[in-house]
Structure 1
Amino acid sequence: MAAVRSQVAPLWAALVLCTAMSSEALAQKKYDSGASDTEIKIGNIMPYSGPASAYAAIGKTEEAYFNKVNAEGGINGRKIKFISYDDGYSPPKTVEQARKLVESDNVLLIFGSLGTSTNGAIRKYMNEKKVPQLFVASGASKWNDPKQYPWTMGWQPSYVSEARIYAKYIMKEKPDAKIGVLYQNDDFGKDYLKGLKEGLGPKTSMIVLEEAYDSSEPTIDERVVKLKASGADVFISITSPKFAAQGIKKAAEINWHPMQIISNVSASVSGVLEPAGIEISQGILSATYTKDGSDPQWNGDDGMKKFYNFLAQYQPKADKLDAGVVFGYAAAQTMVKVLQMCGDDLTRENVMKQAASLKDFAPDTLLPGIKINTAPDDFAPIEQLQMMRFKGKRWELFGDIISSEMSQ
C-alpha cells in the first residue's frame, strides 16, 4: 500500500499542477465583445461617397493591409474581421453607422474613422459606451484629451501644430506677407486657423481675409476670387481634397499667383494635384510626415520596399501616388501593433492601455526620424512634420523635421 501511495502522490501532484496551469492559461485570456480565440472585429467609418470621397483610398488600403495580416496567420492566431461603412461625410450618418457597429456588429473597437465633424458627432457616444474610438483620421487637437475622453485617440499630427509650422515659415520667408485664408467652416478648418494665429502671434494682422466655406457647397470659386481681391499674396487653403483642387484651378484661371500652401490632408498628388493640373500646381507648399510613393529617393528604402510589395500583392489597383494609400498603410500598421501588444487580453480597456503605451514605433511609410509615441496623458501619436514643395511631378522635402514643440 505504501508503494501504491508513493506512486499516486506524484500523479496527483502532476494532475493538480496541470489543472492549475491550464486554469492560469484560461485566466490569461480576456475578451470583450468583438474578440474571441479566433477573431477580432474592427469597425470603421469612411466617406466612400460624398464631398470627401477622395479619402476612400484610406479605408480600402486598411482593409487590404488587414487581409495581408490575416493571410500571414493573423494576430496571435486571430483573424481580423474589418467592417467598414460609408457615411458620405455626414455626421448624422456617422452616428447611425457607429451605433450599428457597436450595437449590432458588436465590434471590439472603431478604428481610423475619417473626419473631424463626423468623429466629433460620435465621440460622446463612444466614451459613454467605453468603446475605443482609436486612431481617428483627423488632425483635430481635441482627440488628445485623455482626461475627458479616455476612449478617443487621434493618430496624425494635429492641425494646430501643422498650421504653426506654416506661420513660422511665412514669417521667415515673407515677413511682409498679406495672408488670405480659405478654410472649411467646421472644427477641421477652425483648428488650422487657431494654429495659424498662434504661430503668427502678435503678427496676426498679416491675415487680410478669412474666408469660410461649407463642405456641402458645390464650388469655392467665388471665395477664391474674393481672396485675390483682398490683395493677399499668400493663399492658405485649409480644404479637403475636392476643394483644394478647385482652389488651385481657380487661382490659375484668374491669374492669381500667390505663395500657396495647402494642408497636408489635401497634399495627394493623384487625388488633388493631378486633377487640378500638374503645370499649375508647381511651387505649392505643404508639410508632411509620410514618405511620398512617387518619390524615387525611397526606392531603396526598406520600409517602402515592403509597402510596394504589399501593393503588388494585396492592392494592385491602388495608386501609390495617393497620399491616402500611404496613410492607410501606416495607420493599419499602428493598429496591428497595438493588437499584438494586447496579447490574449483583448478587452477594450487593455486596447486603450496599449494604445497609450507606444514607444518609438515607426511604421514603414513614415519619414525617417518620425516615430510614434504615446502615454496615458498624451494621446497625440505623431507630433513632427517636414516642409515640402511641389516640383515636376512630385513633392520635394526641404528643411529639418520640425516638432510641434519647436514651432510654438
Structure 2
Amino acid sequence: MSQHIPARRRIAALAGASALALGLAACSTPSAAPAEEDGGGDATGVTDTTVTIGTHTPLTGPAAAGYSSISAAASAYFDYLNDNGGVHGRSIEFIVKDDGYNPANTQTVVRELVQQDGVFAIVNGLGTATHGSVLDFLNQNGVPDLFVASGSTAWNQPEKYPWTFGYNADYIVEGAALAQYAADEHPDATVCVLGQDDDFGDEFIEGVELAIGADGIADIQRYSVSTQDVTAQIGAMQAAGCEINMLATINGFTALAVGAAAQLGWFPMWFSSSSGADYPTLVGYLGEEMGPKLLQGFTGTNYAPMADDDWVALFRTVNDEYNGGAAFDGNTIYGMSVAYLFAEALAAAGEDPTRESLVAAVASGDLKGNGILPLSFGEDDHAAYLGVGITKVDQGVQDYIDASYAVEGGAVTAVEPQPVALTGKGLPAS
C-alpha cells in the first residue's frame, strides 16, 4: 500500500527529475497492482487508499509560460478533493512530468509513468505533436488516455484509439465558430489566418474554410514554435490588407503576433483559438501597461466557466488554499475543470475501479463536466465539446458574449449555452 503524497509535492519532486533512457524504461516493471486475476479488469495504479494517475506537460520550454500552471491547478483541485474524502475513499496521487513541449521527451516520460510509476491513467497530456507521439503506445498497452489537452481531431478515433478521449473543443470547431462569428458581425472584413505549422494550424484553417470557404481567406501564414519571431508573417498579413487576423497560436505566439503588429503601428482585429486566448496570460507577456490596450476587443473561444460564475468562485477559493494563491487565470480554471471531470469519471467507474470501467464511464455519455455546452462523449464519439462560446475582452475583463456555435455534420449553427450548475461544492457524488 503506497503512502499518500499531496499532489503539489509530487509535482515539485518530479518536475526536475531526469528522464530514464527509453530502453531502460521499456524494461521496467510497473510498481502498482497488476491486472485482476478474476477477469474483472486491470486495476493497475489502484490500491485500497489511492489512485495514481499521471500527465506530461511543458514545465519548461517554449510553451511553459502559457501552460505550466494547468497541472499545478489540477493538482490543487485533487488536494482539495482528497481533503474532502477523495473518490470512494481513495485519494488521487497525481504525478506530473515535464516534457518541455518536445515529443521525444514526451515518449520518455510517458513510458516512465506507465512502466515505472504504474499509473492507472494518463490525464490531460498536453500538446498535439507531443501527445501524438505516445498515442499508439498508450492504446497498445490499454492505458486510459483521458481528456487530452489539445484540440486535434486525432483523439476522436474510437475504433483506432479506444482508450483515448479529448478534452478541448477541436480546432475545426474553433476555427469554424470564429469564422462564422466574423461573417455574422463583420461580413465585409478581410480575413486572414496565422497558424502553427502542424495539425493545430491545419485543422483550424479547415474550420475557417468550413464557415467562409477557402476563397474567404485573403492570406495564410504559418509559424514554427522553434522560432520565437513572427515579424515576417505579421508584415505579410499587413501587406495583404488583413482586417481580422485569426490565430491558431499558443499563448506565447499570440502575444508575439499582437506585439509585432503594434510595433508596425498596425492594429487589426484579433480572433484566437482558446489555446492562445487567455487574457491574463497574454497580459503577462505584453506587460501591464500595454497589454490591456492592445487586447481591448480581443475575441476568442471557450467552453469552460468564466468570469462571474459559481465554479470560478469555487476554483478561486481552491487556488488560494491549495495552490499558494498562485495567479488565477483561464489556465487555472481549465486545470481544475479537467481534474473535476476526471474525479467525476472515477466516481462513475465504481467502488472498485478498473481501467476498463473508467473508460466505460467516460463512453457512457453520462458525465456532465462543468462546461457551458453539453459533453459529447459516447461509444462512437471521443470528443468532449462540439461547440464553443465566443469571448471578448472589454476593459480588462474577458467573458462570454451572446454568441455560441456548434459544428456537426459539416454545418456551423448558432446554439444556446447550457452551463452546468455547481453542486456539492464541486465534488462528484461517490
Three-state SS of the structure 1 residue aligned to 2:412 is coil
The C-alpha deviation readout for 1:203-252, integer Å capped at 9, x for no partner, is: x2121221111111121122111111122222112111111011111111
Q: 1:130 is matched with which residue? A: 142
- C-alpha distance in structure 2 between counterparts of 1:29 and 1:315, whole Å: 37
* Alignment-mate amino acid for residue 32 of structure 1: A
- 1:407 aligned to which of 406, 412, 415: 412
Q: Which residue of 2 aligns with 1:236?
A: 246
Corresponding position of 1:216: 226
Partners of 1:396 and 1:35 in 2: CA distance: 39
Q: Distance in 2 between matches of 1:360 and 1:30?
A: 21
Worse-matched range after superposition: 64-73 or 273-282: 273-282
Q: Kindly provide the amino acid, as one letter, of the partner of residue 387 in structure 2.
A: Q
The separation in 1 between residues aligned to 2:121 and 2:399, in whole angstroms, is 37
Q: Which moved more, 1:36-45 or 1:311-320?
A: 311-320
What's the RMSD between the two structures over aligned residues? Answer: 1.9
- One-letter amino acid of the counterpart of residue 40, structure 1: V
Q: Contact between 1:338 and 1:354, CA under 8 Å: does it hold in 2?
A: yes
* Cα distance in 2, alignment partners of residues 50 and 180 from structure 1: 28
Structure 2 partner of 1:351: 358
Query: Which of the residues 7, 18, 32 maps onto 2:43?
Result: 32
Q: Equivalents in 2 of 1:132, 1:87: separation in Å?
A: 19
Equivalent residue number for residue 164 of structure 1: 176
Instruction: Show structure 2 runs of 5+ residues with no match.
Output: 1-36, 414-430
What residue is the counterpart of 1:269 in the other structure? 279
Aligned twin of 1:5:
none
Q: Percent same amino acid at aligned positions?
A: 30
Moved more, 395-404 or 259-268: 395-404
| C-alpha contact (below 8 Å) 1:154/1:381 kept by paired residues | yes
Shift in Å, 1:275:
2.4
**Given residue 344 of structure 2, which amino acid in structure 1 is its aligned partner?**
K
Partner Cα separation in structure 1 for residue 114 and residue 234 of structure 2? 42
Partner of 1:330: 337
Comparing 218-227 with 94-103, greater Cα deviation is found at: 218-227
Where do residues 181-200 of structure 1 align in structure 2 (5 Å cutoff)?
181-200=193-212
Decide which of 75, 99, 107 is 1:63's aligned counterpart: 75
Q: Is the 8 A contact 1:164 1:199 kept in 2?
A: yes
Counterpart selection for 1:52 from 63, 67, 72? 63
Q: Does 1:289 align with 2:292?
A: no
Stretch deviating more after TM superposition (134-143 or 228-237): 228-237
Q: Is the 8 A contact 1:162 1:195 kept in 2?
A: yes
Q: In 2, are the aligned partners of 1:31 and 1:345 still within 8 Å (CA)?
A: no
Structure 1, residues 92-121: CA drift from partner, whole Å, max 9, x if none? 100111111111111111001110111111
Structure 1: where are the runs of 5+ without partners?
A: 1-25
Q: Secondary structure at the match of 1:68?
A: helix
Shift of 1:327: 0.3
Tell me if 1:78 matches 2:81: no
Classify the secondary structure of the residue corresponding to 1:345: coil
- Which whole-Å deviations, capped at 9, do the CAs of 1:311-334 have from their partners, x for residues lacking one? 2211232222x2110000110000
Write the letter of the residue equivalent to 1:269. Answer: Y
Which residue, out of 100, 103, 112, partners 2:124? 112
Structure whose CA Rg is larger? 1
Is the aligned partner of 1:307 residue 2:315?
A: yes
Cα distance in 1 for residues equivalent to 2:216 and 2:403: 25
List aligned pairs for 1:352-391, cutoff 5 A.
352-359=359-366, 361-363=368-370, 366-367=371-372, 370-391=373-394
Q: Which residue identity is paired with 2:264?
A: I
Q: What is the deviation of 1:303?
A: 2.6
CA distance in 1, matches of 2:91, 2:294: 46
| 1:139-158 equivalence runs, <5 A | 139-158=151-170
* Aligned-partner residue type, residue 412 of structure 2: S
CA pair 121-360 structure 1, distance change in 2 beyond 3 A: closer
In 1, Cα distance between equivalents of 2:148 and 2:403: 27
TM-score by length of 1: 0.86
Give, in whole Å, the separation in 1 of the partners of 2:130 and 2:238.
31
